[in-house]
Structure 1
Amino acid sequence: MNGDEQLLRGRVYGRAYEDQDPGPLAHRTYAVLTGGPLDGLLLDITDWRPDEVDDGAALPTELGQFPGGRSLYDPRPGEPRTPGPGVACRLYYGGDTP
Structure 2
Amino acid sequence: MDETEFMRGRVYGADHEDAAPRPGRTYAELVGGPLDGLLLDITGRGETDLREGIPLRTEIGRYGTGGRALYIPRPEDARRFDWHGDSP
- The equivalent residue for 1:54 is 51
TM-fit CA distance, 1:26: 1.6
Indicate the SS of the match to 2:11: coil
- The equivalent residue for 2:60 is 63
Partner Cα separation in structure 2 for residue 67 and residue 80 of structure 1: 29
**2:8 paired with 1:9:** yes
Indicate the SS of the match to 1:7: helix
Deviations 1:40-81 (A, max 9, x none): 00000101133321121100000101102000100122x144
Q: How many residues align?
A: 86
Deviations 1:9-48 (A, max 9, x none): 210000121x2x3110121001100001100000001011
Partner Cα separation in structure 1 for residue 5 and residue 56 of structure 2: 18
Q: 1:92 is matched with which residue: 73, 82, 86? A: 82
Q: Which aligned runs of 4 or more in structure 1 are off by greater than 6 angstroms?
A: none
Q: 1:23 is matched with which residue: 8, 20, 23? A: 20
Indicate the SS of the match to 2:69: strand
Partner Cα separation in structure 2 for residue 58 and residue 6 of structure 1: 23
TM-score normalised to the size of structure 1? Answer: 0.78
Q: Between the two structures, name the one with larger relative contact order (CA 8 Å, sep ≥ 6).
A: 1
- The equivalent residue for 2:71 is 73
Partner Cα separation in structure 2 for residue 29 and residue 91 of structure 1: 13
